[in-house]
């Protein structure tokens, strides 16, 4: 079985075409699990939940080979809300939902009345926010897990969990950083994370946040290998990804599955997370990051052709053919 670690959220979206989607099951851990489950592998979610997270949203996951026995249910209610607004120019914003709902002529959902953003405290290296996983949360009954993917989370989680996973016998660890700590002021902590993992999967936005808006993405990724990363995969939306080999210092570009302005694109929420889940499975199967990238690209391609975290699973049967097509094209 595979494991994806991260958040389980309740999503509120304003789409690029001006539609509102509210109270949808979501979270980076779930999107990554879906990206992995597309390949017929059993996947288990590892996440923390407040007592108020809807149980009815969790039970259907088991029918898709997504296990929920690793969810840590807290005794107190927690804030699971996530808001994203996708702008026509391709940018994404995660604050000020009132302005974005007003922009599309929709009333602000009552549940977002006091919303600030979904990741308070995630840049703190010393303290865990309530929903942040910690080493003691790892289910010791999980044996023979070939790979774990750590989705964006708190800095404290990403500093401390990888070492515990190694002690538990996990051979493959991939990590997608939290955007709140991908800033110059946290560079020393990022340098502590990178040697602990096998593949680092930041977005282009996070690279620019860390190194500056004008930085060359490939050169920045090479810098990350000098900080200790073995492999870096820079996710860059419609531009595809860059695969950077720390040992050979080579950069390999991969185009996105969809061409620019493809009419099949509906909602890009969770595309990067779905990529990471697919990449995790591909890497475990092949042992080669270059062969793993197409698994991620296909997973992301299916995720963005519909709304909601589980949409891609309705298209699961198409994944093998898309993989063969993508490998042939590259």
Q: Which residue has the higher pLDDT, 16 or 11?
A: 11
Q: In this predicted model, what pLDDT tens digit does every residue of 227-238 receive, in sequence order?
A: 999 999 999 999
- Looking at the structure of the chain, the number of domains it has is 1
Give the integer Cα–Cα distance in Å for 95 and 55: 27
Report the range out of 16-25, 30-39, 89-98 with the highest average pLDDT: 30-39
Residues 6+ apart with CB under 8 A from 264: 258, 305
Q: Is 185 a residue whose pLDDT tops 90? A: yes
* Confidence at residue 2, expressed as pLDDT on a 0 to 100 scale: 98
User: Are the C-beta atoms of 118 and 28 separated by less than 8 Å?
Assistant: no
The percentage of residues in the chain with a pLDDT greater than 70, rounded to a whole number, is 99
Q: Is 30 a residue whose pLDDT tops 90? A: yes
* Confidence at residue 91, expressed as pLDDT on a 0 to 100 scale: 81
pLDDT band, very low/low/confident/very high, at 326 (cuts 50, 70, 90)? confident
Backbone conformation region of residue 23, classed left if phi is above 0, alpha if psi is from -120 to 50, else beta: left
Containing domain of residue 61, as a range? 2-329
Report the range out of 22-26, 242-246, 267-271 with the highest average pLDDT: 242-246
pLDDT band, very low/low/confident/very high, at 42 (cuts 50, 70, 90)? very high
Q: Which parts of 192-325 are beta strand (E)?
A: 199-200, 231-235, 241-245, 250-254
Q: Residue range 76-100: average pLDDT? A: 90
Residues 6+ apart with CB under 8 A from 29: 4, 5, 6, 7, 8, 45, 46, 47, 151, 273
User: Are the C-beta atoms of 244 and 250 separated by less than 8 Å?
Assistant: yes
Q: Is 200 a residue whose pLDDT tops 70? A: yes
Least confident range from 4-8, 89-93, 288-292, 303-307: namely 89-93
Q: In this predicted model, what pLDDT tens digit does every residue of 161-179 receive, in sequence order?
A: 999 999 999 999 999 999 9
Residues 6+ apart with CB under 8 A from 273: 6, 28, 29, 31, 32, 35, 151, 176
Q: Is 112 a residue whose pLDDT tops 70? A: yes
pLDDT band, very low/low/confident/very high, at 329 (cuts 50, 70, 90)? low
Q: Is 328 a residue whose pLDDT tops 90? A: no
- Nearest C-alpha neighbor of 257 from the set 174, 175, 319: 319
Q: Residue range 4-27: average pLDDT? A: 92
Q: Which helix (H) or strand (E) holds 93?
A: strand 92-93
Instruction: Please give the backbone phi and psi of residue 47, each rounded to the nearest 5 degrees, phi first.
Output: -160, 165
Residues 6+ apart with CB under 8 A from 278: 35, 36, 38, 39, 295, 296, 297, 298, 299, 300
User: Are the C-beta atoms of 267 and 304 separated by less than 8 Å?
Assistant: yes
Mean pLDDT of the chain: 94
CATH number of 257's domain: 3.40.1190.20
- Global confidence as pTM: 0.95
Q: Is 318 a residue whose pLDDT tops 90? A: yes
């Amino acid at each position: 079985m595979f494991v994806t670690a991260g958040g389980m959220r309740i999503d509120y979206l304003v789409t690029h075409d001006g539609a509102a989607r509210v109270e949808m099951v979501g979270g980076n851990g779930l999107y990554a699990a879906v990206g992995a489950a597309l390949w017929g592998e059993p996947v288990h979610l590892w996440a923390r939940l407040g007592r108020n997270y809807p149980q009815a949203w969790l039970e259907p996951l088991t029918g898709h080979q997504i296990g929920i026995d690793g969810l840590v249910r807290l005794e107190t209610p927690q804030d699971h809300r996530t808001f994203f607004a996708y702008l026509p120019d391709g940018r994404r914003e995660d604050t000020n939902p009132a302005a974005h709902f007003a922009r599309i002529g929709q009333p602000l959902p009552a549940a977002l009345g006091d919303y600030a953003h979904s990741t308070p405290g995630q840049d703190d290296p010393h303290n865990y926010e309530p929903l942040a996983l910690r080493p003691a949360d790892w289910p010791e009954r999980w044996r023979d897990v070939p790979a774990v993917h750590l989705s964006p989370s708190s800095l404290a989680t990403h500093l401390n969990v990888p070492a515990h996973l190694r002690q538990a016998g996990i051979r493959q660890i991939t990590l997608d950083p939290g955007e709140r700590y991908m800033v110059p002021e946290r560079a020393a902590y990022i340098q502590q994370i990178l040697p602990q993992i096998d593949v680092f999967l930041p977005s282009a936005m996070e690279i620019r946040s860390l190194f500056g808006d004008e930085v060359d993405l490939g050169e920045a990724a090479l810098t990350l290998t000098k900080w200790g990363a073995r492999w870096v995969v820079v996710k860059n939306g419609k531009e595809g990804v860059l695969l950077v080999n720390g040992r050979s210092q080579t950069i390999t570009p991969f185009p996105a599955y969809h061409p620019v302005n493809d009419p099949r694109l509906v909602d890009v929420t969770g595309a990067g997370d779905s990529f990471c889940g697919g990449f995790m499975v591909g890497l475990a199967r092949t042992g080669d990051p270059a062969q793993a990238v197409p698994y991620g690209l296909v997973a992301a391609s299916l995720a963005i052709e519909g709304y909601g975290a589980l949409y891609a699973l309705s298209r699961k049967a198409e994944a093998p053919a898309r993989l063969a097509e993508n490998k042939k094209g590259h």
